[in-house]
Amino acid sequence: MTRLTIESLGAQGDGIANIPSGPVFVPQALPGEEVEAEIVKGRARAVSVVTQAPQRVTPPCKHFHDCGGCVIQHLERSPYEEWKRQKVVQALGSRGLQAEVEPLVSCPAHARRRVALTARKIGSRTLLGYNARQSHHVVDVEECPIARPEIVSALPQLRELAAMLAATPKPFRIAVTVTQTGLDIAVDGAGKVAERARQKALTFSVEQGFARLVLDGEALVERQKPVLAVGKAAVIVPPAGFTQAVAEIEQVMAELVCGHLEKSKHAADLFSGLGTFALRLAENRRVHAVEGDAASLAALDSAARQTPGLKPLTVEKRDLFHRPLLAKELDQFDGVVFDPPRAGAEDQCRQLARAKVKRIAAVSCNPGTLARDLAMLVEGGYRITRVVPLDQFLWSPHVEVVALLER
């Protein structure tokens, strides 16, 4: 065992100690602490804390030390929020961008409406939970302080459902989303499920009041359409449709975007998904929504058509990674919002940088790719007016960001 002094907190939530051979990453250790650990390939394991940092707190979840779902429940709130804010500060600084980053918008516990669980059947026992950190071992959980109560209370039933469908000894995925009509459950990778097991799972899902059960993309049963409220609209979520993880954070993001584009008369929502921004923006202006996923776009279009009082909302199926809107196409809009996957919107931002759009709202779950995209926009003549980090992924290394720009 080696005694280490933790000097800083890394981007993934590990404590970092420096020794002659280089940095050592120490899970669940905090700056200022001394720990005893075994070092294997630059990582510490079998860690024992000798001297605790004053910022250390008792983790709220009993599974924290085993589960890999959360990495930093042991740090008190104020330094935790500053750690996340600094991720955005450092990302912008790495691109030479000058912008004040506001304090982190906090996320309450028990607020996450969408979780991805891992299930595995071992003999007569079925595990359901999250992978241990840097491992394929499934940690069987009985509680989860990030998830909505509807999910936590259903863990025994979800475990029972997993046991019915498990047709492989390998781990498989169960995605659960809380909707207005019940839990929307999607199971993937459970193996070749026999017809008898499928029927049993179907009956069980109806008895438990689940809104829908989807197996490898096929809806086994849909007791009720899974519905989410988006502004004034009600959106029917397609199987595997992307939703923002926390409704409270989505609302703040939407308020920032709509407020920034308040004076726009014709806005574009790029990478629109189910219409998180498009449907809210359409309450006061014309909107053109562009999305590559056909099912999500259809759900958005249907919701818009069935919501009275919206301004005209048009939709376009288009892969913006391979065929971004060109500058001339963008010039018809006086406001744009884009919210791409983690890879960012590099090619689309090259076109935006050449366009005449007055206001842009950039939304991202990856500060690194966001900073790259913002740098292109700034070089093209835009000015960053506001940067707001949001804690959509509580106790994880991830942070959501909304950046507002004006030409």
Query: Is 339 annotated to bind ligand?
Result: yes
Q: What's the CA gap between 74 and 28, in Å, rounded? A: 7
The residue assigned the tokens 């499920």 is: 193
Distances (CA, A) of 349 to 329, 336, 353: 13, 11, 6
CA-closest candidate to residue 251, choices 214, 213, 279, 285: 279
CA-wise closest residue to 364 among 394, 398, 330, 332: 398
Which contiguous run of DSSP H or E holds residue 318?
Answer: none
Name the residue type at position 270.
Answer: L
d(CA 304, CA 316): 14
Interaxial angle between packed helices 155-165 and 195-208, expressed in degrees from 0 to 180 and rounded to the nearest 10: 170
* DSSP designation for 383: E
Nearest CA among 344, 385, 354, 374 for reference residue 260: 385
Amino acid letter, residue 407: R
Was 271 annotated as part of a binding site? yes
**Which tokens go with 385?**
């007016």
What secondary structure, in 3-state letters, does 109-176 show? CCCECEEEEEEEEECCEEEEEEEECCCCCEEECCCCCCECHHHHHCHHHHHHHHHHHCCCCCCEEEEE
Q: Per the annotation, does 25 bind a ligand?
A: no
Known catalytic residues are 365
Q: Tell me which amino acid residue 360 is.
A: I
One-letter identity of residue 262: E
- Among the listed residues 279, 280, 282, the one whose alpha carbon sits nearest the alpha carbon of residue 266: 282
Residues making up the binding site for S-adenosyl-L-methionine: 244, 271, 291, 339
Residues making up the binding site: 244, 271, 291, 339
